[in-house]
Amino acid sequence: MAFIEVRHLRKEFVTPVRRSGRFGTLLSLVRPDKRTMVAVEDISFAIEQGESVAYLGPNGAGKSTTIKMLTGVLEPTSGSITVAGDIPHKNRKRSSYRIGVVFGQRSQLLFDLPVRDSFELLRYMYSIPREVYRRNLEEFTEVLEVAHLLERPVRTLSLGQRMRCEILASLLHDPDVLFLDEPTIGLDVVAKERIRAFIEKMNRDKGVTLLLTTHDMQDIERLCPRTMIIDKGKLIYDGSLQYIRDHFATERHIRATYDHPLLAESAAALFAVYEGVRATVEEQVLRLTYDQRRTDTAALLKLLLDASPPRDLTMQDENIDALISRIYREGLTVNPSAQRLSLEGAG
């Protein structure tokens, strides 16, 4: 059995619907109308101990709902979850000893008290042996550079400082798995980097299994060799980021800057031989966008350079962020045989 196993997971939320008008309000009280919202439709995956996995999807795809089920906060409508052999919502207390959680938008620290008091409370809640607590606190405060913050009330910390303390708090009891929901949201580049370096170290040195939701591509590039993408409550991709890059990052952009203004018509005529090459002109800048599988880059460059050598030339492939939004938008299908086998695929 894998360390985390999720099979046919589904979560529905049933919410009351208010009818309009005075009569409607009255009717809603006597006979409430209900609406069922499917947040997670059917998701299956397996994660081995020590893996580091990104869990991606557009807003409302069902990421946070999945994490809440994995941590036992929510009970699935159907399907099953096991984390370290336990069913999180059934054995919440026992599971919590193995699980660490960080919700970027919510705090587990007590706002009016010094940071250290929250850590002490966690020591008590998780019955962390004194020696383990002392060792972890010492090591983590040093790596995260938060020793000088321990006596400060949480409410006086900046977002970056608080997030470092949140992550420290989530790992004090030596969990085997850490669920992170947008851990770097709203942070500046330096704060993001500190947090990524720490999480990476915990995964590498302590073998902490990571499942991370994020909208920040650099989090994924740095931390997660494996990526799962969900959309509308269903898993649409499970494999490496590299595979997506290699198979879908087909759009290439060339930007050529000249010393003189250009004519859009001439540019369009020049590249008309290449079907699918989009040429746009803005004063002295020519931009070409094309599919690298269909158009030979060397031949295109030769045509461009022979026509008139530019002052500057840059070439860029579609970045992974844009690429994933394209996958959401166009619903690109991925060659399933090249992906990691899902639980169903594995039989």
Ligand X SMILES: Nc1ncnc2c1ncn2[C@@H]1O[C@H](COP(=O)(O)OP(=O)(O)OP(=O)(O)O)[C@@H](O)[C@H]1O
- Cβ atoms of residues 63 and 180 within 8 Å: no
Question: Is 215 exposed, middle or buried (CB count within 10 Å of its CB: 0-12, 13-18, 19+)?
Answer: middle
- Cβ atoms of residues 286 and 258 within 8 Å: yes
Nearer to ligand X, 35 or 260 (CB): 35
Residue 72 interacting with ligand X (CB under 6 A): no
- Cβ atoms of residues 141 and 198 within 8 Å: no
**Distance, C-alpha 262 to centroid of its chain:** 42
Nearer to ligand X, 34 or 260 (CB): 34
Stretch that binds ligand X, among 62-70, 90-98, 120-128, 329-337 (CB under 6 A): 62-70
CB of 324 to ligand X, least distance (A): 13
Stretch that binds ligand X, among 53-61, 111-119, 124-132, 142-150 (CB under 6 A): 53-61
Nearer to ligand X, 15 or 242 (CB): 15
CB of 335 to ligand X, least distance (A): 25
Question: Exactly one of 9, 61, 99, 323 binds ligand X (CB under 6 A); which one?
Answer: 61
CB of 223 to ligand X, least distance (A): 18
**How many Å is the Cα radius of gyration of the chain?**
25
The token pair at 245 is: 């890059």
Residue with tokens 């198979």: 247
Show the site string, 8-47: x = touches ligand X by CB under 6 A, - = not. -----x-x---------------------x-x--------
Residue 63 interacting with ligand X (CB under 6 A): yes
Other CB atoms within a 10 A radius of the CB of residue 89 amount to 17
CA distances from 203 to 151, 185, 196, 295, 319 (A): 28, 20, 11, 42, 26
CB of 60 to ligand X, least distance (A): 4
Question: Exactly one of 56, 62, 70, 187 binds ligand X (CB under 6 A); which one?
Answer: 62
Residue 325 interacting with ligand X (CB under 6 A): no
Question: Exactly one of 52, 64, 82, 203 binds ligand X (CB under 6 A); which one?
Answer: 64
Nearer to ligand X, 37 or 264 (CB): 37
Strands (DSSP E) along 161-233, which ranges? 177-181, 209-213, 226-231
Buried b vs exposed e over 260-274: b needs ≥16 C-beta within 10 Å?
A: eebeeeebeebbeeb
Question: Exactly one of 44, 45, 54, 65 binds ligand X (CB under 6 A); which one?
Answer: 65
Nearer to ligand X, 37 or 159 (CB): 37
Q: What is the distance between the alpha carbons of residues 38 and 93, in angstroms, rounded to a whole number?
A: 27
Nearer to ligand X, 103 or 198 (CB): 103
**Distance, C-alpha 195 to centroid of its chain:** 15
Question: Exactly one of 53, 57, 82, 236 binds ligand X (CB under 6 A); which one?
Answer: 57
Q: What's phi and psi for 234, nearest 5 deg?
A: -130, 145
Stretch that binds ligand X, among 54-62, 137-145, 184-192, 239-247 (CB under 6 A): 54-62
CA distances from 22 to 28, 29, 31 (A): 10, 11, 14
- Cβ atoms of residues 19 and 28 within 8 Å: yes
Residue 102 interacting with ligand X (CB under 6 A): no
Residue 314 interacting with ligand X (CB under 6 A): no
CB of 73 to ligand X, least distance (A): 11
Q: What is the distance between the alpha carbons of residues 97 and 127, in angstroms, rounded to a whole number?
A: 9
CB of 79 to ligand X, least distance (A): 15
CB of 183 to ligand X, least distance (A): 13
Q: Please report, as ranges, the residues that interact with ligand X according to CB under 6 A.
A: 13, 15, 37, 39, 57, 59-65
